[in-house]
Amino acid sequence: MASYASTDRARSTALCTVITTSAAAVGLGYWLFMSPRSQRFGSFPYMASTTEKVVALSFDDGPNEPFTSQIAAFLRSRSVQATFFQVGRCVERHPEVTLRLVSDGHAIGSHSYSHKFWHCLSWSRQREDIEKGQQAVASLIGRRPRLFRPPWLFRHPWMLQSLRTQGTQPVSGVFGDLLEVFQPRPEAMAARAVAKVRPGTILIFHDGFDARGGPRGRTVAAVKLVVDHLLEQGYHFTTIDRLLGVPG
Ligand SMILES: [Zn+2]
């Protein structure tokens, strides 16, 4: 009996060790490759170092109509400029929306061409996807985007080095609401986003979903609440290139 008990104990201990080690490996992998704040592989700013009450709003995965235009119309009404990290194939779908954002003074960053996760599994495929996305924006607006945000924030040293060589600034940020994909109540999303804001914060929202479109009406409503609240609190808004001093 005693030897069975000790064998069971040994098996339990080994299982716990495997589970703990696996969880630690997953956590470390997430921190290194996908967390918004890790700088382990090089500069990947999620905020600027400043005491000024300034925020940079950013929007990923668009253009996605009518939501991108609804956000743009609201920002225009408040004289607020933001940064839109756009997906190349969505830019090709709605070129007039991207051009209107440019004429409104917003910054256009690139967010890859396809936004497909499997492209992240091969650096050569990912590099092609990044280049194609930048070309899609450049051929429309006449200049290469100087800002790039990788889909899912997934990055590695080779990507960051390659971007820096091209003079492109990789950009992270703070997710306005981690539950945004489920489109919770706008008031809840806005409250969670506002609670994260500090001077110099780069706030991330999504005007699209994985480059496939999808409803973002509640994001539009939440952004209105966030902007008006922060304006009341004395914040002003800027684009990420200006916030970080990236040459235009
Ligand atoms: Zn994205």
Q: What is the pLDDT of residue 3?
A: 64
Residue 47 sits at the vertex; the CA angle it makes with 109 and 146, to the nearest 5 degrees, is 25
Confidence of residue 31 (pLDDT cuts 50, 70, 90): confident
Is the confidence at residue 194, as pLDDT, over 60?
A: yes
Q: For residue 37, is pLDDT > 80?
A: yes
Assess if CATH 3.30.420.40 describes domain 54-244: no
Interhelix angle 157-165/123-141, nearest 10 degrees: 30
User: What distance, in Å, lies between the first and last C-alpha atoms of the chain?
Assistant: 75
Backbone angles phi, psi at 236, to 5 degrees: -125, 165
Residue 187 pLDDT:
98
Count the Cβ atoms, other than its own, within 10 Å of residue 152.
Answer: 13
pTM value is: 0.90
User: Residue 146 corresponds to which tokens in the numbers above?
Assistant: 């100087």
What is the per-residue pLDDT for 78? 98
Cα 6 to middle of ligand 1, angstroms: 50
Cα separation, 176 vs 199, in Å, equals 15
The CA distance from 110 to 159, in Å, is: 14
pLDDT exceeds 70 at position 2: no
Q: How far, in Å, is the centroid of ligand 1 from the Cα of 115?
A: 6
Write a three-state SS string for 7-60: HHHHHHHHHHHHHHHHHHHHHHHHHHHCCCCCCCCCCCCCECCCCCCEEEEEEE
172 versus 12: the higher-pLDDT residue is 172
| pLDDT at residue 66 is higher than 90 | yes
Average pLDDT over residues 89-116: 97
Q: How far is the CA of 209 from the centre of ligand 1 (A)?
A: 7
Cα of 18 from ligand 1 centre, angstroms: 33
Distance 62 CA to ligand 1 centre (A): 9
- Is residue 75 pLDDT above 60, yes or no? yes
pLDDT of 20 higher than 70: no
